[in-house]
Amino acid sequence: MINIIRSNYNTYLNPATDKIEGHTIRLLAFFITSIFIAVFSSNSSNEIYGMMTTGLTILTGFTFTALFSDHSLADVGLDKPRDETDIAELKRLEKLADNFQARCTYFITLSIIDVCILISISLKFSSTSWLKKIWDIVGQINVTHPSMSYWCQNLIEIFFVAIYTIVFFMFLECLYTFYRLSETIIAIVNTRRSYMKPKP
């Protein structure tokens, strides 16, 4: 997963300086926004998770389809270069194809993980005998050790806030990656059109 993340972020280059873009501020903003939503959102959890799961599923479907289209082979099926401009455009298409593959891999992996977490926290389980025993023990702790019960409740709340924060953060990251992925597809289409355009 670390290699997938590194490969994706290595595709974000500043076209003017050809240096890797900085994303610390954006990621920090996403993280703060995710905490804010996790703590203060008053919407029904199942409603939000359902919308997020649907959105991610649709975007993943688009990406998966594009992965097996001509966009993933941006520099394949073209005529031989006729001049220096064609050679430069072929090199650009080759680079764009590599970027497309890296961003697709990152997006699909991240969205699948996020959907799995969303489905997991949306599940409702029926109460079993062993679960009832655990709740009985918790109830006894609440009576005999109220301070311990207070800390247990706080830890549980912190745990769920952390899970919700991760879910929202990954969702925002998926949206951003899909935007950059769309940017790559548009660049591929425009560059291929320029390459195939008849030269005077």
Residue 88's pLDDT is what? 80
Q: Which residues of 60-86 are buried (b: 16+ CB within 10 A; e: fewer)?
A: beebeebbeeebeebbeeeeeeeeeeb
Whole-number Å distance between alpha carbons of 70 and 93 = 12
Q: Cβ–Cβ contacts within 10 Å for residue 197, how many?
A: 8
Residue 54's pLDDT is what? 84
Residue 77's pLDDT is what? 62
Q: In order along the chain (200 residues), what is the average pLDDT of each group of 10 residues?
A: 88 78 90 88 69 85 73 62 76 84 90 87 61 59 56 72 89 93 86 70
Residue 143's pLDDT is what? 53
